[in-house]
Amino acid sequence: MTNKKAFIFDLDGVIVDTARYHYLAWQKLAQELGIEFTPEHNEHLKGVSRIRSLDIILDLGNIQATQEEKDKWLFDKNELYLSYLVDMDQSELLPGIIDTLKFLKENGQYIALGSASKNARPILEKTAIMPYFDAIVDGNDVTNAKPDPEVFLRACQLVFVAPEDSIVFEDSVAGVQAANAARMKSIGIGDKEILHEAEYIFPDFTTINEQFLRSLIDA
């Protein structure tokens, strides 16, 4: 009988190439506030909540703000981000991700999403990959942001798989730390220097072969 594992995927920067849209939206907001916001600064926003991301940017500019001001800026940032997604389709999927999802589905594995994004469901629908997922946990479903493991623990609970039988694909330091905190196998997608805490690291999904995926299932 096939081992049933839970394969949990982050969204931005792992499944879809929308991380750059978040960066552009945050950068525009930062510029309006007179704050320099670089790609290096953006690394600290990966995998964390929208609210925490704004706090990080405000800290860069030593800006104190009321909750009303923060709410407005969060709304403006999200509206700008969503405007980038209007014409989104499967071309936004990162190379190799479809092959990975197909292999896991054909081999009877559970596939879940564990993302801080509050726009996860519409993105999965626009890219036509919603049917691959057995469970979706996004920023609307959790209280604690990564590196807290809540999002991944909820995902494996929804498919009734133990954390130690779960595998997480992440492109952020906070996400890798969350997977490790949950005692799940962590696989970093991206820069090995940044994601060095992950158990395995690949530059992208085109470098993950079926033999490796099979070894995860059989472990």
Residue 24's alpha-carbon distances to 30, 77, 121, 170, in angstroms, are 10, 9, 21, 21
CA dist list (Å): 39 to 23, 24, 55, 92, 188: 8, 10, 17, 20, 19
Instruction: Classify 140 as helix, strand or coil.
Output: coil
Catalytic residue among 10, 17, 134, 148: 10
Question: Tokens 């609307």 map to which residue?
Answer: 140
In the set 12, 99, 134, 165, the catalytic residue is 12
Which residues share a beta bridge with 185?
167
On the CB side of 48, how many CA atoms lie within 13 Å of its CA? Answer: 16
Closest CA to 57 of 20, 10, 23, 14: 23
Residue 12 annotated among the catalytic residues of the structure = yes
Q: Is 99 a catalytic residue?
A: no
DSSP category for residue 133: -
Q: CA angle, corner 177, sides to 158 and 22, nearest 5?
A: 85
Query: Contact at 8 Å (CB) between 126 and 82?
Result: no
Residues designated as active site = 10, 12
